[in-house]
Amino acid sequence: MFTLKSEPQDKLTLIEQGFHLYKHIFGLALPYSLLAAIFIFTPQLFIDITPPFHLTQMGQNVPLMAGAVIGWLLGFIFLSALTFRIYYVTLELPLRFVDAIAHVLLKLIPLLLLGILYALVVLSGTLFLVVPGIILSISLMFSFILFLTDNQNVLQTLLTSHRLVWGNWWHALLVISFPLLLDMTVSFAVLLSLITAFNHYHFSLTTLYFAVCGCNIVIQAFFIPLIFSIAFTLLNDLRNRQGSPLPRW
C-alpha cells in the first residue's frame, strides 16, 4: 500500500518515497514501459550503419522514417497510459490495462498538441540561450501529468505546472535529476562494457549496435517507471508546498 504525504518533504525523503512507489507499482508498470521502450527504440535496429554511413541517408529512407514516427506515437501512448495508471495507484483504485489505453486515446489529439507546445516553448528558450530552455523544460514538465489526471485544458496545464514549480525550481530540478542521472550513469556503464567486449572479442560493429539498442530497451523499461514514480511524489510535494509555510530546507 502506498500513500502520498500531505505535507512538504525534503529532497532525500521524496526520492525514498519515489523508490517506495516504484517498488509498489513495478509489476503493473513494466508492461507499459517495456512496450513504450520497444516501440520507441526498435526503429533504430533498422538503421543501416555499415560504412559509409551518413545521417542524410535516414531522411531519405521513407519507410524507416514512417516506422519511427509510428513507433514514437505508440510509445507516447504507452507512456501516457503508464502515467494514468500510476495516478490510479496513488488513489488506491484499480484500473485495467485497456482502460488506461482507452483514456489516453480519448485525449490523444490534445496530448499531442500539448507535446508540440511543450517542445516549441522549450526550443524557443533554448534558441536564445541554453539556460532558458532548461528552466522551461523543468517548470512545464508536469503539464502532461496534469492533463491526464486533472480536468484542465492544454494551456491551463502548462500554466499550472509553471506556477507549481516556479517558486521551488531548484528543489524540483535536484529531485527529478536524480533518476535521470542514475539512468544516464547505468546506460553509460553498459555502453562502456559492451564496447570493451566488442574490442576484446572482435565483434562486428553491427553486432555491437544491436547489443546497445537491445540493452537500451531493457534499461529504459526499468527506469521509466522509476522516473515517473519520483515525478509523482515531487508533484504531490509541490502541491503541498503551495498551501504550507516554506520549510527550512
Question: How large is the average pLDDT for residues 12-23?
Answer: 94
Band (pLDDT 50/70/90 cuts) for residue 224 is very high
Say if residue 53's pLDDT is above 60.
no
- How far apart (Å, rounded) are the C-alpha atoms in residues 204 and 207? 5
Over range 189-211, report the average pLDDT: 86
What pLDDT was estimated at residue 237? 94
pLDDT for position 132: 80
pLDDT tens-digit readout, 66-85:
888 899 999 999 999 999 99
| More confident: 180 or 121 | 180
* Residue 72 to residue 78: CA distance in whole angstroms: 10
Cα 244 to Cα 6, 13, 230, 237, 247: the distances in Å are 10, 17, 21, 10, 8
* pTM reported for the whole predicted model: 0.88
Is the pLDDT at 129 greater than 80, yes or no? no
Q: Per-residue pLDDT for 30 more than 80?
A: yes
Whole-number mean pLDDT of the chain? Answer: 87
Q: What is the DSSP string of 145-187?
A: HHHHHSS--HHHHHHHHHHHHHTTHHHHHHHHHHHHHHHHHHH
Q: Which CA distances in Å does 200 have to 9, 194, 230?
A: 48, 10, 38
pLDDT band, very low/low/confident/very high, at 247 (cuts 50, 70, 90): very low
Nearest to 149, CA basis, from 231, 87, 92: 87
Grouping H, G, I as helix, E, B as strand and the rest as coil, residue 1 is coil
The pLDDT of 31-38, averaged and rounded, is 96
CB 63 within 8 A of CB 113: no
The whole-number average pLDDT for the span 132-141 is 88
What does the pLDDT average to over 96-105? 95
% of the chain with per-residue pLDDT over 90 = 62
Residues 93-114, mean pLDDT to the nearest whole number: 94
End-to-end CA distance of the chain, in Å?
Answer: 28
C-alpha cell of residue 121? 516553448
Angle, in degrees to the nearest 10, between helices 97-106 and 11-41 = 80
| Calpha distance 240→6 (Å, rounded) | 6
Nearest to 80 by CA among 104, 62, 60, 51: 104
As a whole number of angstroms, the distance between CA 199 and CA 137 comes to 38
